[in-house]
């Protein structure tokens, strides 16, 4: 692929490359010293790919082949329903929201049906706040609403609780036809949702076995809601496939943006950059920062490496938005500790622009604004921010999107997924599991009285009691003398940092 292609996204890493003014910037040799590690990473990942263990990449063509089927269902749904409500959390929700925001109008749900091209309103319920859920349900005409229940395991407590509530309301409102208002996206065979789809007759789309939540946007998880809202999912897949081809093989480091970004991320982390700020300069990409934050945090934040050694690994993703957060976070970014590495994302050509008119005479020091386009102000602010960070010795790079289209968004998704996979290899952690969330799930089961978790319930209740005792002691005499819950077995062996 021609890297100069007008529609190809590219990475400008110059803000991290060596300059004498900044002792923290990276020497050419340092960067190229990453090559053996990346060759190794590439070989490992391609082997996994050939063995069916890297399906976010390996199944792209298969997913594209399914697109027409998804599109047909989506077009039919758009004809029959006014609202499309996705029930899901984590990877089931972040990708669909990010892609929707990038490729549909910002105020989509407030547009008339005509301006939405006869497509349904789109809601993603990714939490179990009872107030918000009540408000949403009471505002919907259930007879004109399609619910998409998304959970690979069919076990996600939050999503299944939403589903049970919705199922009951649909039965009351729509009678025998209630099952027509539910479409599930789940594993092919396993789990409650597959069983329920079978027994209650819901239309079902399948999430391939080998694709975890945070890598699932380009499966029916993301393709169905995108298609329902009128996004060109074939173009999205084409962008993804183009990037996959571009980055999956080991090449010259500077020609492979995923490997380059992984190498620079690794070097930054080793240098003490414990945080990675992802800061798009476009409102349409705000939620892409949320999607990326899950990908980076869950994939790399790991207690053990692949040899089973405790490493407490990870780099913390920070979501930001330009220019907005210049007025909120940039003070810290410029003057705070030099513990962050920055990724800006910029859109070269916005699909609309506005000329700023001349200011009235009385406002003399606003005259400089008149005659510029709004995008010029935005782009100038990005340059000025990068310059200010450079002067303060901060490292930054920029992902450049020629324009914001399904083709560039598809590329961006795969770029960031591959970069994460490479980084997992460099850090020697399993980038595809999430063992650290089990404890919380088990605790919830215990507290909600799920059979088989009684012992944990006793344990947690003892802890709560000890905690309350501690608090009341504190209120009595501003302190407590006895360690209150030292009997809990725990792995609190993190070293003082």
Return the active site residues. Answer: 298, 327, 441
- Nearest residue (CB) to a second copy, 89 versus 242: 89
Query: Are the beta carbons of 27 and 16 closer than 8 angstroms?
Result: no
What residues form DSSP beta bridges with 317?
A: 276
- Which of 73/485 has CB closer to a second copy? 485
Q: Which is nearer to a second copy, 88 or 225 (CB)?
A: 88
Nearer to a second copy, 308 or 479 (CB): 479
Taking the least distance from each CB to a second copy, the nearer of 70 and 423 is 423
State in angstroms the smallest separation of the CB of 221 from a second copy.
Answer: 13
Three-state SS string over the chain comes to CCCCCCCCCEEECHHHECECCECCCECHHHHHCCHHHHHHHHHHHHHHHHCCCCHHHHCHHHHHHHHHHHHHHHHHHHHHCCEEEEECCCHHHHHHHHHHHHHCCCCHHHCCCCCCCCCCEEEEECCCCHHHHHHHHHHCCHHHEEEEEECCCCCCHHHHHHHHHHHHHHHHHHHHHHHHHEEEEEECCCCHHHHHHHHHCCEEEEECCCCCHHHCCCCHHHHHHHHHCCCCHHHHHHHHHHHHHHHCCCCCHHHCHHHHHHHHHHHHHHCCCCEEEEEECCHHHHHHHHHHHHHHHHHHCCCECCCCCECCCCCEEEECCCCHHHHCCHHHHHHCCCCEEEEEEEECCCCCCCECCCCCCCCHHHHHHCCCEHHHHHHHHHHHHHHHHHHCCCEEEEEEECCCCHHHHHHHHHHHHHHHHHHHHHHCCCCCCCHHHHHHHHHHHHHCCCCCCHHHHHHHHHHHHHHHHHHHHHHHHCCCCCCCCCCCCCCCCCCCC
Least distance to a second copy from the beta carbon of 208, Å? 19
Q: Is the CB of 177 or the CB of 472 nearer to a second copy?
A: 472
User: Taking the complex as a whole, how short is the minimal distance between the CB of residue 490 and a second copy, in angstroms?
Assistant: 4
- Determine whether 225 is exposed, middle or buried from the number of CB atoms within 10 Å of its CB (0-12, 13-18, 19+): buried
Report the distance separating Cα 244 and Cα 425, nearest Å: 17
Nearest approach, Cβ of 305 to a second copy (angstroms)? 11
Name which of 301 and 402 has its Cβ closer to a second copy.
301
Distance CA 427, CA 386 (A): 28
Residues 342, 281: Cα–Cα separation, whole Å: 13
Nearer to a second copy, 73 or 445 (CB): 445
CB of 227 to a second copy, least distance (A): 22
Smallest distance, a second copy to C-beta of residue 310, A: 10
In the bound complex, what is the minimum distance in angstroms from residue 380's beta carbon to a second copy?
4
Minimum distance of a second copy from residue 68's CB (angstroms): 29
């Amino acid at each position: 692929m021609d890297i100069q292609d007008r529609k190809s996204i590219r990475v400008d890493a110059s803000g991290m490359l060596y300059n004498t003014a900044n002792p923290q910037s990276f020497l050419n040799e340092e960067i190229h010293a990453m090559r053996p590690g990346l060759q190794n990473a590439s070989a490992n990942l391609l082997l996994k790919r050939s063995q069916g263990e890297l399906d976010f990449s390996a199944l792209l063509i298969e997913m594209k082949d399914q697109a027409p089927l998804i599109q047909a269902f989506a077009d039919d749904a758009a004809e029959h329903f006014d609202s499309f409500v996705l029930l899901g959390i984590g990877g089931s929700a972040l990708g669909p929201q990010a892609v929707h925001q990038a490729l549909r109008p910002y105020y989509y749900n407030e547009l008339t049906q005509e301006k939405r091209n006869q497509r349904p309103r789109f809601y993603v319920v990714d939490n179990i706040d009872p107030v918000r859920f009540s408000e949403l349900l009471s505002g919907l005409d259930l007879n004109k609403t399609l619910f998409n229940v998304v959970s690979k395991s069919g076990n996600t407590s939050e999503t299944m609780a939403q589903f049970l509530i919705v199922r009951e309301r649909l039965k009351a409102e729509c009678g025998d036809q209630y099952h027509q208002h539910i479409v599930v996206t789940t594993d092919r065979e396993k789990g409650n949702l597959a069983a329920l789809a079978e027994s209650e007759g819901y239309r079902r789309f399948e999430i391939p076995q080998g694709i975890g939540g945070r890598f699932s946007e380009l499966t029916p998880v993301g393709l169905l809601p995108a298609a329902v809202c009128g996004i060109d999912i074939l173009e999205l897949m084409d962008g993804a496939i183009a990037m996959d081809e571009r980055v999956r093989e080991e090449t010259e480091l500077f020609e492979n943006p995923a490997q380059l970004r992984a190498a620079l991320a690794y070097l930054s982390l080793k240098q003490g950059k414990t945080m990675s700020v992802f800061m798009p300069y476009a409102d349409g990409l705000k939620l892409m920062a949320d999607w990326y934050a899950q990908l980076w945090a869950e994939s790399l934040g790991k207690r053990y490496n692949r040899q089973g050694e405790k490493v407490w690994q990870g780099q913390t993703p920070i979501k930001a938005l330009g220019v907005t957060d210049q007025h909120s976070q940039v003070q810290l970014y410029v003057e705070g500790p030099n513990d962050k590495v920055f990724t800006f994302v910029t859109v070269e050509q916005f699909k609309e622009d506005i000329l700023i008119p001349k200011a009235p005479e009385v406002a003399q020091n606003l005259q400089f604004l008149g005659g510029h386009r709004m995008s010029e102000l935005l782009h100038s602010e990005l340059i000025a921010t990068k310059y200010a960070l450079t002067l303060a010795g901060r490292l930054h790079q920029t992902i450049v999107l020629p324009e914001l289209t399904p083709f560039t968004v598809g590329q961006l998704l795969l770029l960031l997924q591959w970069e994460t996979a490479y980084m997992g290899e460099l850090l020697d952690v399993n980038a595809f599991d999430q063992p650290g969330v089990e404890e919380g799930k088990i605790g919830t089961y215990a507290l909600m009285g799920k059979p088989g978790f009684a012992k944990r319930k006793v344990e947690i209740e003892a802890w709560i009691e000890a905690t309350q005792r501690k608090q009341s002691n504190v209120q009595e005499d501003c302190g407590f003398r006895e360690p209150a819950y030292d009997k809990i077995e725990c792995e609190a062996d993190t070293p003082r940092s």
